Chains A and B, each alone.
Chain A
Amino acid sequence: MSVVLGYLATILVTFFTYNIFTLGLNIQFGYAGILNFTVITFMAMGAYFYAVFVMPPANASNQVFYILGLHWPWPLASIAGVVASGALGYLIGLIALKRLRSDYLAIVTLATGTLLYGLSGDNNKLFDGWAGLFSVNQPFQSVANNHPNTFSWIFVVISGVVMLAVWWFANQLYSSPLGRSMRAIREDQDVVDAFGKNTFKVRMLAMVIGSTIVGIGGVLTIQYIGALSPAGWTTGETFVVWAALLVGGRGNNIGAMLGSLLVAVIFNEGTRYLPQVSSSPNLVPDLRNIIIGSLVILSIWFRPQGVLPEKKAKFYELPLKDKYAQTFAGAKVDQDLAVEV
């Protein structure tokens, strides 16, 4: 029974954290049209920086090396992790958002992600190289050590509350004039520019907010698992988040949630526990990738807007003051052209 409960808790935490990643990407891509092809790098930044702020100084005699090791209390270290991923978003934005758009921007993000991946893997002084960081201090450490299931359920609540807060934030942003500017930039950046908005600033905001949110998910991930190595944040992981957003429905936060449930939980996590075929140990992971890839292709083919497309904006409207006093031209065009839609 306790195994089932523990498993259920893990599934829920996975769902909540992936949902946070997808919401972050939705703000970048679904709102502002920024093709961030290295979502998972921000998760790793959040996680790593949480770790090096919360852990005691590295012990060289164990052949474990990492920077900082400040041994801060976990709430402060969490903030440090989140700020670090937001700062990385800002730096990449400085390079990529000033002049580049769409595909070129995508290439820069992908390249930066690959660079950081190689850097943190090959340089074992930063985050202990390919071995990664482990025994990372968790919140409520004694509970985690003595009652793992209780810890899991505490964490379900924590990550659930954080996810709801992010969800609320994302929705507030979406329906605001700022969110509207972001979506207009997604549609046609030049035109928004020509109407007097500083599109660089707005895109940068979307970039940093999205990266910060993904970083929050990263901090939660390492707090729950207590370890992270580069194998946990390969480029493939970025595309799980992308698949979730595209399948669920970009621009729609409920769609993002549904997508993380379908892709990240049911297909990605659900298939992790299928029985292994001993003669070909890679069969199940490969099948998983094939299924996720097919799901993306099918959904783009048949439902390009995702399962839950972006909702049409509705406003509180008063009736027109002079409904019948339409101008000469207004009345004419309305009748002539309204039928064409």
Chain B
Amino acid sequence: MSNVLEVNDVHVAFGGLKAIDGCSFTVEKGTITALIGPNGAGKSTMVGSIAGAVSITSGSIIFDGNNISGLPTYKRAQGGLIRTYQISREFGGMTVLENLLVVRLGQSGESLINAVFRPKKSKDETNQLVAEANDILNTFGLYRLRNEYASNLSGGQKRLLELSRAVMAKPKMLLLDEPMAGVTPALIEILGQHLLELNRSTGMSMLLVEHNLEVVDKICSRVVVMAVGKRLAEGTLGELRQNRDVVEAYLGGEVHERVGG
């Protein structure tokens, strides 16, 4: 199996602070890989640097065979790399349906000439997209809310919107930065099933930053552990549970004493 993502010896420094200090790992095509680690390990910075929001100081990031380290964010997304955010960032003043419509690339009505002078063509295209978006919204349980302003949704619904919007973009790979943060246990279950279903039906690769190990256990085939800006370990969750370094980093020295003593 080939790798959809390769992170090679990436360093990120903010002034004197080394947020990522030589981190390497890979994500196999078609898998859901988890990225875990204690707070401040550099997970969100890593997601940011893969997506292009954070520029790396050195190292390289290979996505789908291309070195994307120097590309601007939008070019990485055009290549099929789509991210979601730790805090939902919906387009509040637009309807749920519009939130989905806007993200599809390559719409003919995005050029000024077509937009103004050939509205018929673009309208037909939009109707097609509306049907597609409604199907996705239906899957994620947001169909009834499609004409609601996104700012009026509840926290959990915004999470679902964030995910359905990412699906609408038809990515090759999804970067999910704590998609379950602040979500009720019932919805965590549902979101997890959605991700698994999506991965199985479309073969979409995912990198999932997550603190909830139960979720990781259920849906992720591999786990990468980060601590203080470095990759600490990689493997299945079962393997990592046996790894003393991981347990120590994740749960603190206290446990080490208890385990050791």
Contacts and interface: CB of A to CB of B under 8 A. Distances in A.
A315 B186 CA distance: 32
B105 A172 contact: no
Contact of B143 (A175, A186, A328, A334): A334
Contacts, number: 170
A183 B89 CA distance: 14
A21 to B, nearest CB: 20
Interface stretch (B61-69, B145-153, B209-217, B236-244): B145-153
Interface in A143-196: 169, 172-173, 175-181, 183-184, 186-188, 190-196
B141 A334 contact: yes
Contact of B82 (A184, A194, A197): A194
A326 B136 CA distance: 11
Contacts of B140: 329-330, 333
Contacts of A330: 138-141, 143
Interface stretch (A37-45, A292-300, A306-314): A306-314
Contact of B186 (A175, A183, A251, A336): A336
Nearest to A319: B134
A1 interface: no
Contact of B74 (A186, A198, A329, A333): A198
Contacts of A277: none
A4 interface: no
B144 interface: yes
Interface in B152-183: 152-154, 156-157, 160, 165, 169
A316 B107 CA distance: 17
A337 interface: yes
Contact of B92 (A172, A187, A334): A187
B105 A183 contact: no
A187 B103 CA distance: 13
Contacts of B108: 177
A180 B97 CA distance: 12
B93 A186 contact: yes
A332 B138 CA distance: 11
A188 B89 CA distance: 8
Nearest to A318: B131
B91 A194 contact: no
A169 B169 contact: no
B144 A334 contact: yes
A196 B194 contact: no
Contacts of B86: none
Of B75, B116, B154, B194, most A-chain CB atoms within 10 Å? B116
Of A310, A315, A327, most B-chain CB atoms within 10 Å? A315
Given A184-B94, A192-B102, A337 B139 contact: no
Nearest to A312: B95
B51 interface: yes
A320 interface: yes
Contacts of A326: 138, 141, 143
Contacts of A340: 154, 156-157
A328 B141 CA distance: 9
A177 B82 contact: no
Contact of B160 (A196, A197, A333): A333
Given A177-B109, A194-B51, A187 B93 contact: yes
B73 interface: yes
B141 A331 contact: yes
Contacts of B90: 187-188
Interface in A1-60: none
A329 B193 contact: yes
A174 B169 CA distance: 22
Contacts of A197: 74, 105, 110
Q: Which 8 A-B pairs have the closest CB atoms?
A: A333-B141, A196-B77, A176-B115, A177-B109, A187-B91, A340-B154, A178-B115, A177-B107
28 contacts: A172-B117, A173-B115, A173-B116, A176-B116, A177-B125, A180-B98, A181-B102, A184-B102, A188-B91, A193-B73, A193-B77, A194-B51, A194-B73, A195-B77, A195-B105, A196-B78, A198-B74, A312-B147, A315-B127, A321-B135, A330-B138, A332-B190, A334-B142, A337-B154, A337-B160, A341-B148, A341-B153, A341-B157
Interface of A: 169, 172-173, 175-181, 183-184, 186-188, 190-199, 205, 209, 251, 310, 312-318, 320-321, 326-334, 336-338, 340-341
Interface of B: 51-53, 73-75, 77-78, 82-83, 85, 89-95, 97-99, 101-103, 105, 107-112, 114-117, 119, 122, 125-127, 130-131, 134-135, 138-145, 147-149, 152-154, 156-157, 160, 165, 169, 186-187, 190, 193-194
Given A169-B116, A194-B73, 14 more contacts: A172-B115, A172-B117, A177-B107, A177-B115, A177-B126, A181-B102, A183-B102, A188-B90, A190-B89, A313-B98, A316-B127, A317-B131, A333-B160, A336-B186
